[in-house]
Structure 1
Amino acid sequence: MSIDIKQQPSRAMFLGWVVLLWGISAGMATGQETQTSKEAVDASSLHGKALCGYQGWFRCPDDGTRSSWLHWSRRRQITPESLTFEMWPDLSEFTPEEKFAVSGFTHADGSQAYLYSSTHPKTIRRHFDWMQQYGIDGVFVQRFLVNLRQRSFDTVLEHVRTSAKETGRVYGVCYDLSGYPAERIVERLTDDWKQLVDQRKLTADDRYIHHNNRPVVFIWGLYPDRFNAEIAHQLLDFFHADGPYQATVIGGVPWTWRREDDQRWVEAFRKLDVVSPWNHGNILERRGKKIANTRMWKEELAATKEAGGEYLPVVYPGFAWTNLKGTGAKNATIDRRGGEFFWEQCVAAAKLQTGMIYVAMFDEVDEATAIFKVTNDPPQQAHFDTYEGLPSDWYLRLTGEATKLMRGDIPLTEEIPISPE
């Protein structure tokens, strides 16, 4: 969205200046100005893009979805023992209609604690406003096969579509195969894609991400230990066939993908247009610190080029899931180290010069990989990870810097180039 200074003053111009002033004031509130990206992001290519995973799976009672506290609690009511998320989102900017009171949870000052529903249009628009403000290009909205019967996920997709258009961001669909019966994957996924193309005209949307003159489909969960390679081949053959459903396919594969012995899986990996290994949990210990293992990225890039494909590195800010999995999972925690863990991966990705990165994730507080605004003042009734006193927008700002780094707009530097003050 841009403002034409040659026009006479209008409501649109007035609203544009309101957005501009809001962006400046938001930056001043964090001690550092942020620059709102008003120009629409080019949707014709993955190159030059930093795209985030967008779960959109949080629900609350009374949000109109007939859900309870989906992805906030393992039971219909939230208690300290039922929590399934690790970080409490910062809702200080949210309107009253977007906030859902959580009974029994209060902040340190005794004030009521609230959570949000991913189905609210104002909330999704707010997330996209943040992307625009901090220079983040857009998202791959997760479409879980196990949830496709729930209309609320269609609602989320439509709100993402509208918000992308209104903010000039881009979006694409990421099918997550986790937990779905193997024998039904191909039929369920291809039927859904046909419906999105034929009925919703999704790929005709000028905000839908394309690459190599085709719409992009991200298929996450192409794991040899979950189903046989023939399923992967059937999916790839469907998307590569000439016709209205043809697409450029990104494959979310395990970080061990190049060790695979099954020749049919090897062939499937080589058929992918873009390979995106899920590097979560692939870490090294260095001087008592956990760092992401990116040593194989250069070889992986060479392998994908040799097969005629491209490479999309995955970067993430940290990890924890003790509320989701229990205290026995504490050893899996990956300290964010104030953003250093994230920035080290961004530097490694920039050195590859692939021109694109996948940030996992925008809103994933279940496993503490979120980059959106998280409060440092969570409720006192349970344990929650925070941003360690850093501003709630710190990782949005870092992702904006990572975008610049990946594009070559700022010099390559091993040190985080911005200050939280």
Structure 2
Amino acid sequence: MRPSITHRKRVVAASLLLSALLLAAAACSDSDSAAPPADASPGADLGGDATPDLARRDAARPDGPAPDLLPPGPYVVDPSTLDRKVMFGYQGWFACPGDGVVDRWRHWFGGQTSSATEATFDAWPDLGELTPAERCPTDMQRKGGGAAYLFSSARRPTVLRHFKWMADHDLDGVFLQRFVSELGDPTALAMRDAVTGHVRAGAETHGRVFALMYDVSGAGEAGLFDALKSDWAHLVDDLGVTQSARYLRHGGRPVLGLWGLGFPSRPGTPALAQTIIDWFRKDAPQRLRATLVGGVPHHWRTRDGDAKPEPAWDSVYRSYDVVSPWAVGAFVDDAGADVFRKDRIEPDMAALAGGSASYMPVVFPGFSWANLMSGSPLNQIPRRGGRFYWHQVFNVIDAGVTMIYVAMFDEVDEGTAMFKIAPTQADVPTSGSWLTLDADGQSLPSDFYLRLGRATGRTLRGQLRLERTLPQNP
């Protein structure tokens, strides 16, 4: 069962088409708003200098004097607020034969043949730290000899290692995805519950934070509200997720994400969406009330493009506690990102100013789904050695945001993964086409994007001066 893949095929494909319009608009923009050259020389070293507070960072514009810098202390994640957080989406959906929960290939291959021709992911993960007990052998061969292997999210040591990587790189934590369409499948539900337990253990062991995020893709409209209420009660009452000291809170309540309402191919009328939001925010029993983060179309404000057109959606979106427009595939380069900032991010923030909803933009490192979508090119939206990602980070922080969602931590299916990726083509199987970190000509360590994630958080928190150019040696 792959409901999320269906959702992203539609949403990202539509966004990629829209990117052509964004690029055209970028070409017409005036010189004052033009992006700097993509390969501009790198900026400040990220080795550890930190400004003591946000006010001093905000005073230190790229064209102004730098503040005195102080070395940072150990970073402790505050679980009481989303403010100054960089949160990563975490799929946790990978499975393999012998993992003890799903016991079959899931999200690695289109069927149960683990060959390169059946692969449905592009970014090859760095698997060097897996223990023998964690390895899932495939039918592919390593270039150094022996079977190539992958991992299962159902195995706790693997998930705990991901959280160790987060701690090693000062990352705040994750939104764990939970697909409503899977809740009626006993095997899928067992997998989701198992991974939830692993994520909780990882956050508690390594001092990170976590929250759940529902994705309504593929769910039936008639049973959507009941399914959400029942499962959230299961998570709170049976699994006790909100009792964890590392479950993220904001405004005094547990944080809960709700992704997909308002997209044309997703279920939900404005009235149903409002009923769902109101229940979680104020009508549910006290123990089940939550601070809601809404994953919405990036055309939510104008109700065109990737958003449903009915005017009633205006009040629905504004009733979320946090609005987080989906941006993956909305642009393909720095010029498009600048148009997106001018046409979407800044007007979105202005529209929400003075209201009760906060704004949490989405940034992503690149995009590639050649193995998932036949005919699509490998490295479709190039990462450019981190420059594409960092340009977005500069834009959103410079615009004044206080929280950021990074898509995604472990999404190798569409090549947006920020966790450890194979550095070179020498590290992938002998067969197949795979995205590695040297795709754009740079030699990068496998944890390079985790390092950029650390730089993102430090900059958002005011520990690093905001720089337009990619940091050196993050």
Instruction: Give TM-score scaled by structure 1 length.
Output: 0.87
Residues 53-73 of structure 1 show CA distances to partners (whole Å, capped at 9, x for unaligned) of 000000000111243210000
Which position in structure 2 is the counterpart of 1:122? 157
Residue ranges of structure 2 left out of the alignment (5+ in a row): 1-45, 49-70, 304-308
User: Which one of the candidate residues 398, 407, 410 is aligned to 1:363?
Assistant: 410
Q: Where does structure 1 differ by over 3 angstroms across 4 or more consecutive aligned residues?
A: 32-40, 284-287, 289-292
1:391 and 2:441 matched: no
Residue type at the aligned position of 2:210: Y
Deviates more, 1:231-240 or 1:364-373: 231-240
1:238 and 2:285 matched: no
Give the structure with the higher percent strand. Answer: 1
1:256 and 2:272 matched: no
Quote the offset at 1:332 in angstroms. Answer: 8.5
Instruction: Give TM-score scaled by structure 2 length.
Output: 0.78
Residues 7-66 of structure 1 show CA distances to partners (whole Å, capped at 9, x for unaligned) of xxxxxxxxxxxxxxxxxxxxxxxxx98999865411000011111000000000011124
Deviates more, 1:337-346 or 1:277-286: 277-286
User: Which one of the candidate residues 124, 134, 138 is aligned to 1:102?
Assistant: 138
Identity of aligned residues (%): 39
Relative to structure 1, the CA distance from residue 332 to residue 308 in structure 2 (aligned partners, 3 Å threshold; closer, same or farther) is farther
Quote the offset at 1:147 in angstroms. Answer: 2.2
Equivalent pair of 2:332/2:381 in contact (CA under 8 Å): no
Equivalent pair of 1:284/1:293 in contact (CA under 8 Å): no
For residues 31-50 of structure 1, the aligned pairs below 5 Å read: 40-50=76-86
Relative to structure 1, the CA distance from residue 333 to residue 164 in structure 2 (aligned partners, 3 Å threshold; closer, same or farther) is same
1:156 and 2:203 matched: no
1:265 and 2:313 matched: yes
Equivalent pair of 1:37/1:132 in contact (CA under 8 Å): no
1:78 and 2:117 matched: no
Which position in structure 2 is the counterpart of 1:145? 180
Deviates more, 1:290-299 or 1:188-197: 290-299
Residue type at the aligned position of 2:409: F
Q: Secondary structure at the match of 1:322?
A: coil
CA distance in 2: counterparts of 1:292 and 1:106, whole angstroms? 44
1:335 and 2:382 matched: yes
Quote the offset at 1:81 in angstroms. Answer: 2.0
CA distance in 2: counterparts of 1:358 and 1:251, whole angstroms? 12
1:220 and 2:259 matched: yes
Q: Secondary structure at the match of 2:213?
A: strand
CA distance in 2: counterparts of 1:142 and 1:252, whole angstroms? 12
Provide the aligned length of Structure 1 versus Structure 2.
386
Residues 233-277 of structure 1 show CA distances to partners (whole Å, capped at 9, x for unaligned) of 121011112522111100001111111141221110111110000
Equivalent pair of 1:224/1:265 in contact (CA under 8 Å): no
Residues 87-140 of structure 1 show CA distances to partners (whole Å, capped at 9, x for unaligned) of 11111111111111112x122223321100001110011000000000101001
Residues 390-419 of structure 1 show CA distances to partners (whole Å, capped at 9, x for unaligned) of 110000000000111111111110111222
Which position in structure 2 is the counterpart of 1:92? 128
Which position in structure 1 is the counterpart of 2:464? 410
Residue type at the aligned position of 2:125: P
1:206 and 2:245 matched: yes
Q: Secondary structure at the match of 1:230?
A: helix
Deviates more, 1:351-360 or 1:362-371: 351-360
Equivalent pair of 1:132/1:168 in contact (CA under 8 Å): yes
Equivalent pair of 1:169/1:207 in contact (CA under 8 Å): yes
Relative to structure 1, the CA distance from residue 199 to residue 271 in structure 2 (aligned partners, 3 Å threshold; closer, same or farther) is same
Q: Secondary structure at the match of 1:275?
A: strand
Q: Secondary structure at the match of 1:207?
A: coil
CA distance in 2: counterparts of 1:37 and 1:165, whole angstroms? 20
Equivalent pair of 1:282/1:292 in contact (CA under 8 Å): no
For residues 8-19 of structure 1, the aligned pairs below 5 Å read: none
